[in-house]
Amino acid sequence: MAHPFLEKLAEGVVLGDGAMGTMLYEAGRSLDESLDALNVSHPDLVASVHRGYIRSGADVIESNTFGGNRYRLEPHGLADKLRDINKRGVRIAREEREISGTSVLVAGSIGPTGRTLVPFGTLSREAATDAFQEQIEFLLEAGVDLLIIETMGNQDEMDCAIAAARASSDLPIVAMMTFAEDGRTLSGARPEDVARHLASKDVDVIGANCSVGPQRLLGVIAKMKATIDALPEGTKRPFLSCMPNAGWPTIVGSRVIYRSSPEYFAEFVRSAAAAGARFIGGCCGTTPEHVRQMRAVVDQINASTPDQNRPTLSHVREPDRRERPLIVMDAEETTGIAKSLGKKFLRCVEVDPPKGLNPQKALDGARLLKAAGVDAINVADSPMARVRMSAMTLCYLIQHEVGVETIIHFTTRDRSLMGLQSELLGAHAAGVRNILALTGDPPSLGEYPNSSAVYDVDSIGLVRIISQMNGGADSAGASIGRQASFTIACAVDPTKPDLEDEARRLREKIAAGADFVMTQPIFDLSVWTNFLKVYGAERLPLPVMIGILPLQSSKHAEFLHNEVPGITLTDGARDRMRRAGPHGRTEGVKMAQDLLQQLVPFSQGVYLMPSFGRYEVAAEVLDVLVDEQVPAAAIQ
């Protein structure tokens, strides 16, 4: 299964971030305290470190969870906070990624237990594996993109962590040992032995981190590279990673100082890449300035790599502004969606607006999806009542920068009757004419519970207003100059407890002038066929796009089912994800593909909702479809 991290590595050097502990120490925190606990007590401080690395150009940032296992937290009396510490650590990093609007990946950092394994210590391999698995499951639940097992001095403990990771997930794994001044691990293993052993494990990247300064670690990486190159044909060859400290630490007064400068680290990147490393970053003593200097060299190295023709999240060529495809509609032109309804099976995917000022990740996702053949990009309007960039603005950018139609989720929550119509007139002029009419989540669900909702009209009233504009008048009957050409979608939730009421409201929306229907996500064909029985028809009188949400893991499934309004899973779907175990992502895609194929005879399109911004998952789900014409009898 394709993954953005592995795609990045295949294309060139990937830049990691720098030290977390160093930055927290510089901010006044004590090295004697649990730095992981700051995820709960001082989340803004942790967020500021991530922000610095993102702004410096890191491709991957690591969650502040290095010491987030039960054995590291117990001495601080924090073992009962393990779940909260790990989940918040990931969420802080993901939040900063969202605010930045970039495609930076979030890695779950996993460090050693701090205990010695038997026979020299008292910690059994089983207990160590259980501790790692416990932490890893919380990292997965929070939505990490990959796992980094780092600073391991003992190969047996590394094996425990890898076993725990693979028992829980099929995400990419980076496994890095730490080496002493003599070029061996703390347990005495040579780089060649480590490389040979880790290559036999089911990991994607192996290497070294922390340890000593850049020069000593370069020698380690060179030996590991030679060992990997000498493996028999047909053997999986993992990528190599190298993340040294900024030299030896020295004590100056009461401060710990690392001597290697950012400029020195920039030159190290060139040497590390030449030695065969693909994933390069910094460990103790490195700062955002180190990463900024490293970024410049990484860009130079990758610029010499031929561009890939296929757009991905990890590598999208920024087109010349003169070449950018524009969607500019004539005043009375109907949308591509309207022209295609009932004539082809439509493919639509949701892209979330950013929480900050930069729309780049959303635009990159739209480019990937356009290459995958989608007919339209859905853009949500501050879902869950959480502040995001204007959906209208992102729709305009996607249509003008990427060249694919959009369907805007337009809510009545934040707009008065006058404001609704004013914004609709502007949307029409901008060419944003596919409108999903929604009432919107109440502000009490979001980050600003005291914000005032408007709700001058509900979704039924909004459909009626847009339909009246298509007739050439506003809600008061005043002329708007000519007939508008909006294509109107309405929503239905076939998982609602009161299906009779949901069917009644759908009839009202259709009578008000809706052109097609979009559903909340379903996870079993029977959910839709049962709703049709309640509605009283074998098919709806309008085209329908059925919502599908690819699941990532059993934890993800349970979170959606129990904590997200409007999403209800069937017992069968939850059980299937539980049985999938570590192969949750793969099983989630297969479930979505199976359901999609079953739904083709019952619908005229699909609306995919990828979680965690994993647009490549949506593209993979769509691979199962062929260009299939919808029979005329499918629409009554």
Task: Answer yes or no: pTM beyond 0.75.
Answer: yes
Looking at residues 341-348, what average pLDDT do you find? 93
Q: Which segments of the chain belong to CATH 3.20.20.330?
A: 14-303
**Residue 415 confidence class, pLDDT cut points 50, 70, 90:** confident
Query: What is the rounded (10 degree) CA torsion for 39, 44, 49, 54?
Result: 110
375-414: pLDDT as tens digits: 999 999 877 667 889 999 999 999 999 999 999 999 998 8
| CATH architecture, domain 329-624 | Alpha-Beta Barrel (3.20)
Q: Which residue type does 309 have?
A: N
Q: What is the 3-state secondary structure (H, E, C) of 546-576?
A: EEECCCCCHHHHHHHHHHCCCCCCCHHHHHH
120-141: pLDDT as tens digits: 899 999 999 999 999 999 999 9
**Residue 322 confidence class, pLDDT cut points 50, 70, 90:** very low
pLDDT of residue 580: 93
**Residue 215 confidence class, pLDDT cut points 50, 70, 90:** confident
Whether the Cβ atoms of residue 82 and residue 38 lie closer than 8 Å to each other: no
Query: What is the rounded (10 degree) CA torsion for 327, 395, 346, 422?
Result: -90
pLDDT of residue 216: 87
pLDDT of residue 261: 84
33-67: pLDDT as tens digits: 999 999 999 999 999 999 999 999 999 999 999 99
How many Å apart are CA 515 and CA 380, to the nearest integer? 19
Dig out the tokens for 530 from the structure: 């049962």
pLDDT of residue 413: 86
Whether the Cβ atoms of residue 211 and residue 217 lie closer than 8 Å to each other: yes
246-285: pLDDT as tens digits: 865 554 444 445 567 889 889 999 999 999 999 999 999 9
**Half-sphere CA count of 477, side-chain side, radius 13 A:** 0
Looking at residues 595-599, what average pLDDT do you find? 94
**Coil, strand, or helix at residue 114?**
coil
Q: Which range has the worst mean pLDDT, 268-277, 432-441, 475-484, 563-572?
A: 563-572
- Name the residue with tokens 């998982």: 495
**Residue 469 confidence class, pLDDT cut points 50, 70, 90:** very high
Q: Which segments of the chain belong to CATH 3.20.20.220?
A: 329-624
300-305-306 Cα angle (round to 5): 135
- Phi (first) and psi of residue 555, to 5 degrees: -60, -40
pLDDT of residue 317: 36
Q: Which range has the worst mean pLDDT, 378-392, 468-482, 519-533?
A: 378-392
CB-count burial class (<10 Å; 0-12, 13-18, 19+) for 410: buried
**Residue 296 confidence class, pLDDT cut points 50, 70, 90:** very high
Whether the Cβ atoms of residue 167 and residue 141 lie closer than 8 Å to each other: no
Is a pLDDT exceeding 50 seen at residue 633?
Answer: no
How many Å apart are CA 111 and CA 69, to the nearest integer? 8
Looking at residues 453-461, what average pLDDT do you find? 88
Question: For the chain, what percent of residues have pLDDT higher than 90?
Answer: 74
Mean pLDDT of the chain: 89
Q: What's 475's DSSP letter? A: T
pLDDT of residue 186: 83
**Residue 191 confidence class, pLDDT cut points 50, 70, 90:** very high
CATH class for the domain made up of 14-303: alpha beta
Residue 319 CB coordination number (10 Å): 13
